Amino acid sequence: MPSCIFCDIINRKAEAHIVYENDLICCFLDKFPINPGHVLVVPKHHAAEFTDVEPESLQAVILAAQKVAGALESTFRTDGITVMQNNGAFKDVEHYHLHVFPRYRGDGFGWTEPETDVSSIDFGSLGVKIRETMAE
Catalytic-labelled residue, pool 17, 38, 95, 97:
97
| 49 vs 97: CA distance, rounded Å | 9
Cβ–Cβ < 8 Å for 82, 99: yes
Q: Is 99 a catalytic residue?
A: no
- Name which of 73, 99, 74 is nearest 86 in CA terms: 99
Cβ–Cβ < 8 Å for 6, 48: no
Please give the positions annotated as active site. 97
